[in-house]
Copies of this chain bind each other. A is one copy, B any other.
């Protein structure tokens, strides 16, 4: 079994063992995702680039946990909505490649509407 499949399987087992699917509606799942994304952002607040670099070195574990939480919700939502997240990313990269063609977007951080 490949790694992504295995993570998804483990996440679903974790939920199933606790019988939590009954609570998991899309709106509250998306709220969870937002709350965890906020917690990640909080790590980088009030810090300069140099302070962030140092902070990351010293707090890798807790930052990893926030990222894990976010991925947990992304994969649960995708599963519940019957979305193949791998195909979704590949499709999105194709769309973004059209929005941001290399020759126009290279080295520029301009929104595609302004390219």
Chain A residues with a Cβ under 8 A of chain B: 2-5, 7, 10-11, 14, 17-20, 22-23, 25-28, 30-35, 37-38, 40-47, 49, 52, 56, 60, 63-65, 67-72, 74, 77-78, 81-83, 85-86, 88-93, 95-97, 100, 102, 105-107, 109
Number of chain copies forming the complex: 4
Q: Is the CB of B88 within 8 A of A77?
A: no
Q: Collect the chain B residues with CB atoms within 8 Å of residue A2's CB.
A: 2-4
Q: Collect the chain B residues with CB atoms within 8 Å of residue A105's CB.
A: 18, 20
Shortest CB distance A24–B (Å): 9
Contact A69-B42, Cβ < 8 Å, known A14-B97, A63-B81, A107-B18: no
Q: Report Cα–Cα, A35/B30, bound state, in Å.
A: 12
Main secondary structure of the interface of A (DSSP, over half): helix
Q: Is the CB of A74 within 8 A of B72?
A: no
Those 3 A-B pairs whose CB atoms lie nearest each other, nearest first: A68-B92, A2-B2, A38-B38
- List 10 interface pairs A-B (beta carbons < 8 Å), by A numbering: A4-B4, A17-B102, A31-B42, A32-B45, A33-B37, A34-B37, A37-B37, A64-B91, A68-B88, A71-B71
